[in-house]
Every structure is written in structure tokens, then in C-alpha cells.
Amino acid sequence: MDKPNWLKEAEETLIRYCGDFSPILVEKAKGSYIHTKDGKRILDFTSGQMCSVYGHNHEKIIQAIQMATKDSIHLLSTMLSPAVIELSKQLVDLLPEGLDKAVFVNTGSESNEVAIRMAKLASEGFEIVGFLGSWHGMTAGAQSSTYSHTRKGYGPVIPGNLSIPAPYAYRCPVKHCNNKCDNTCLEVGMAMVDQQSVGAYAACIIEPVLSAAGIVELSPEYLKRLKELCDERGLYLILDEAQTGFGRLGVNFGFELLEVQPDFLTLSKTLGGGLPLAATVTSRKIEEDCYEKGFINITSHISDPLPARVGLAMIDILINEKMAENAEVQGAYLKQRLLELKNEFECIGDVRGGGLLLGVEIVRDRESREPDIALGNKIADTCLEMGLSMNIVRVKGFGGVFRIAPPLSITQEEIDLGIEIMASAIRKSIT
């Protein structure tokens, strides 16, 4: 297919940072839809980059931005604004005791970087344990704990990073269980990590749902055992809730479902609602220890007032528009409709996830469970042509899984439209 002229012009001056750019030119976005320059309306089942969690261009977010432009947008890093102080208070009020102090940065990479740096300083160790298939960011520390294809070709990562298999029950990483994880992979993984460790443990960083690995869920039983193993080794537990915070799973924060409280909570995508805002939250005890040891983490846009205003709007929307409750209700309906598609199409091997973060795995056949990445890509491309934006994991070893994360404001009618387009795209792709 010939590239449109606007895409050829874009490639003349833009670095291609994600393979090929999408073949649509977006003019505006509102609610659950993006609108292209040529007048096409596309239903967005990814909430942008999983960030516009309450829909594109929510009115309260626009108002918050406008208010910030009348007060202050940016300050010296050591200076605070009322918005930053109020955001820290309101965020901590949403969290249990032990998650008492916050710092506000821009991206998920940064928030994880802060947690890793603080964990290393507090523990006086440097070894970080992470999951195979995880994605924690693109900066040096976060990328070193990210086990995906993004590790290839860039030279050595920071020393001291160790990995354990993720509890991918549909494809047991140790070829042991079938569809229901019994924690064997965890016990084996930690035993292997112990053999590799030089005795300088600092932290274990995980996601409640591994998104880039194809929507791999952690069970409460798994996480409780992981926390026990971390405590035995003096590992701080960092929970990266970039995609699972602010109502996405049907609760305010994913750890509420897992019944385990982390030592560090990192928030990003869903905190900013489409703007660059992220947070690292930890206990008073850890913060005081790091402060006494001289903790420094100065960046150009730390504690900026404008995104803080947006963060306050996000908390307002979460609570007053009952977004977690809507995610629970609409997520159950969406999962039911996806299971109906599974009953109809043999190429859907598994449907998993909860709330409005769901995974649909595309396979060659259900007996072998061999991923059919080519078919998944074809379905994704056909969906886009037909008016539905779908994100599919294309990473070798974790590929062929649709990550479905529509805005929490989505309606049942919009879900039905999305399912209708998906069904038509699958029929067209398999013929």
C-alpha cells in the first residue's frame, strides 16, 4: 500500500521510534473516539497510550489546564505550589497507612526510577528482581528491569538485575501447570535468583497485571507468597500501577484486589489522564531514611504545577463520576461479549483480565496454543480500517494478544459497536 503524502513528509523529519507510524492522521479526540484528518471516526479501545483513562479531552481536565495557565505552569524544582501540596494530600488520603509520602514526576519510567533509586539507597543493596515480559520504562534503571525485546541492541544494562518467570498460566513458563498457576514458577524463579545473587538485594518490581506480556494477571495467593519471599530476603516490593491505577480494574488501585500492600507504589499513565504526570509513593519510614542519607532526584519538571492541577481533576473524576464502579460493570459486560466471540471463533484461544483491562489471545488452534501473530496483526489492521483502534502485543514470545483498555467512561453501546467491528474483522481476516 502506498504511503499517504502526509506520512512521507512526516518521515522526512521525524525519528521513527516505534517501527512504522499508524497510517492515520489524527485531527482531534473526544471521549471514546479519535477523529482523523479525512473525517473518519475511530473507536479507541486503548485509551490513547492507555493514558486517557476517563476518555479523551475530559472537560474537567481541560478546565484544570486552563486554570494552571492563569497561575503557574512551571517552577524551579525546589519550589512548591499549592496544587502540588494538595495533590499529595488527596492522593495519600486515597491510600492506606504506609503509603504516606509522594513525589510527582512526568512518566512511568521516572516514577519507577525514583522507586528503584530509593530502594537501593534504603536497602544499601543494588539487585533488582523483575518479571520476564515486564515493561517498566525506557530510562536506564527502569529499562534494566524491563524484560522485553527493547533490551536488544543497546549494550549492557545496569548490573544487578535478575529475572523470574511471570505466572503466565495459559502458557506455563516452567511447563508445569495448565491454566491455573500453583506458584511453582515463583518458587523455582526465586531459587534461581538466589543462586545468581551476590547478596545485595534491594527490590522486586512488578505489575499487578503484566500488560506488555499479554495481560498476565497475578492472583492474591501468588502476590502474598511473593511478598513473603521478598520479606525473607530484605527486598522492597515496588508495585508499578501505570496501567492498573485510578479505577482501571474496577477498584481505585490494583493492589486492593491482591490484598498485599507494597513498599513503593508507582503511578503514571492513569494519573495524568493524557498529560505527563507520574508519582512514586512510599512510607514515612523509608522516606525519612532516604532523606537522612541525602536522597537526590532533581529533574526539570518535578513538582510542576500544571500537571498537578490535572492530577487533582483526575481524583475528582475518579471519585465523583464513580469511574472504578463503571469499570467493574462495563468490564464485566465487555468480557462477556469477548467470551461470546471466543465461542464463535476458534482463533481466540483465551480471554483474560478484569475490569477494563482485558486480553484476547490469538492462536493457530486451541490444542497446540501456538500463537498466530500474523493473524493477530491482520485482525488489528482490519479493525483500524473498519473504525476500531486495537493494540496487539507483537513481541516474540509474548505476541498475538490484544490488550483491550477502553476509557472507563465507555458505554454499553460503544462496547457493542467495538465487538461488532471485531467480529467482522476476524471473519474478514480468516477467510
Which three cell numbers mark 100? 504516606
Active site residue 207: yes
Active site residue 352: no
Which three cell numbers mark 258? 491482591
- Which among 113, 207, 304, 414 is annotated as catalytic? 207
- Which among 120, 227, 248, 269 is annotated as catalytic? 269
Scan for cell 463520576, then name that residue.
321
Q: Alpha-carbon distance 103 to 240, whole Å?
A: 15
Residue-by-residue DSSP string for 358-378:
EEEEEBS-TTT--B-HHHHHH
- Which among 120, 227, 352, 403 is annotated as catalytic? 403
Residue 185 CA: distances (Å) to CA of 116, 162, 189, 363: 24, 15, 6, 23
Active site residue 71: no
- Which among 110, 135, 309, 414 is annotated as catalytic? 135
CA angle 289, 294, 297 (to 5 degrees): 105
Scan for cell 523470574, then name that residue.
164
Q: Report CA 411 to chain centroid distance, whole Å.
A: 22
With H, G, I as helix, E, B as strand and everything else as coil, classify residue 97: coil
Active site residue 151: no
Active site residue 6: no
Q: Which of 359, 365, 302, 316 is nearest to 334 (CA)?
A: 359
- Which among 143, 243, 261, 330 is annotated as catalytic? 243
Q: Alpha-carbon distance 93 to 312, whole Å?
A: 12
- Which among 110, 217, 240, 263 is annotated as catalytic? 240
Q: Which of 338, 327, 359 is nearest to 416 (CA)?
A: 338
Is residue 108 within 8 A of residue 269, CB to CB? The reply is: yes
Active site residues: 135, 207, 240, 243, 269, 403
